[in-house]
Chain A
């Protein structure tokens, strides 16, 4: 674990950007940048963080930062990593660390092919997915990371269909299946766990993936003062387990021996409000069962018992 007093006071992401009040993306980014060890290049997918930190002719970035498009942060990282390798061999440049940052839309959905390719090829880079469980930049549309039952503008809470019918995709299992050395979940509400993981990921000579849960006040419909609280609730209800897969071995990083009911997490957010109507109440039970099953599955993978 890292020590707070030993963390750098450098802030490569300067204030003054135009992210919303209470936005977890700047928190997730600033925390990640506390773990960098030297010259670092960011490749960024299209999304809130990109549009709000680089409005021309201003920028919040004090380190090299590249945005090409939505679905290719990992492919761009591949090219940069390869170029530095080639130029270092020829004595023209020195190798740098490469970190890709993308949202869940840019990772779980449109960018998963580029990510898969980069992981399979073994490029030395860290991929951070800032997971706020929907396409927030375009105004809250469902993604493969949106949880079952959540309202979004493309999975509306109708009179017949109560929000998104499907479960969230298991990104970490997909990434780990590539045989990469390190993949982990994290949450901005557990800063030490998250920063430690980013540091670990950077040290690895090869690709590493971190999916960091980042509660979005706008999209999840909660007060912007409660971002960190909401992340904590996600973990303490076992809704979002914090674990890592190192060389294929699963390890639970934050145990939750006495979980709060999932309902507490759901009722704190407007995106699940419709589930509390009498006709949809059963959905809450189904979600709770899903949470339990997922937790038990993870415990089995971690070699622990419930």
Chain B
């Protein structure tokens, strides 16, 4: 029988973590992630989990403790947002390089200054290149489903990389929705205990995190990139397996109406839901539009993306972050790079939106679709980068 309970995005992350038999959680509170740690603390206080909860004094120490715990062979979770993620930045590179399969919930939030607690993707984009797998979810259900899949992907011996599950601050983190949850036993079967070959073990002592000079450092980085490449197939496999269990199959990309579309919106996170509603309405009006949600952002599913978008005439890429001084925003930069070699590549323009939690309205999105249709029709990109919803 299906069990549906009301959970915010943050609560969904904590609930999933509870079912995943996590050994160590080390975390620090920050809006809008706070509910994740609060909720998990309640599970610990009520004896619902067998987890060591290390309530650290900073995000830097949270990530440091997580790396230590993960190297010991434990299943490890943390969560953060915004400034907290920025403070973790140094250790995030080390977590991925030491191949620690840590799962981290990120309630995406703007970066200071001025200080702002609301949702945008500047935080994760700032740590985009830190060697972590990154998924962006659309709602609380996806937050729940993604955490369970995240452990399975990260802990795979061919992967062994940390992973962030990104949820839009407040829009998802604090929005209560009906979430269909699995039985505890079903999650345990899907996600057995972590198997670890190399770890901190007095019987087989290792020197972990040594000093490495130009004669070997490069090889470490090359191996990391190889591990990233192994992620794509693993994500697909786990997504299918999860589908058989939960009835909700996941793939690296989620396309709506793309097959016969001429113009499409590409985006991350909760905006995809709004865009789909508008696309549905416009398609009923006979307009050939579609939406592509990028669920797996790192590693970027380049080949799949090319395949699905090759027939499009125009693409609007929505970025909820600004890459200051760059030609386009971060997601658009990837899309352009991926499609550069394609024959008849679509015309691409970039929309920067929603910084600091500024709403993007259905009207805004309809305007973007219309702009994309016009670009498809004329073949001319009038403005490569536009800012939507800002006073100028």
Point out residues on A near B: beta carbons under 8 Å.
39-41, 43, 50-52, 54-57, 59, 61-69, 71-72, 74-80, 82-87, 89-90, 92-93, 96, 113-114, 116-118, 120-121
Contacts and interface: CB of A to CB of B under 8 A. Distances in A.
B28 to A, nearest CB: 10
B310 to A, nearest CB: 44
Contacts of B367: none
Interface stretch (B52-60, B125-133, B160-168): B52-60
Interface string B66-83: 111111111010000000
B325 interface: no
B74 A54 contact: no
Interface stretch (B199-207, B244-252, B337-345): B199-207
Given A41-B202, A67-B209, A90-B23, A79 B73 contact: no
A35 B93 CA distance: 35
Contacts of B213: 55-56
Counting chain B CB atoms within 10 Å of each CB, which of A39, A62, A76, A82 scores highest?
A: A82
Chain B interface size, as a band, is 35 or more
Contacts of A89: 50
B212 interface: yes
Contacts of B30: none
B68 A65 contact: no
Contact of A69 (B26, B64, B66, B73): B64
A83 B94 contact: no
A178 to B, nearest CB: 12
A30 B13 CA distance: 45
13 contacts: A61-B205, A62-B205, A64-B200, A66-B200, A69-B64, A78-B56, A79-B64, A83-B73, A83-B74, A86-B24, A86-B50, A113-B58, A118-B61
B196 to A, nearest CB: 10
A80 B23 contact: no
Nearest to A57: B216
Contact of A59 (B68, B91, B94, B210): B210
A78 B54 contact: yes
Given A69-B90, A83-B72, 13 more contacts: A41-B202, A51-B211, A54-B211, A59-B207, A65-B207, A71-B60, A72-B60, A72-B64, A75-B64, A78-B56, A78-B65, A78-B68, A83-B68
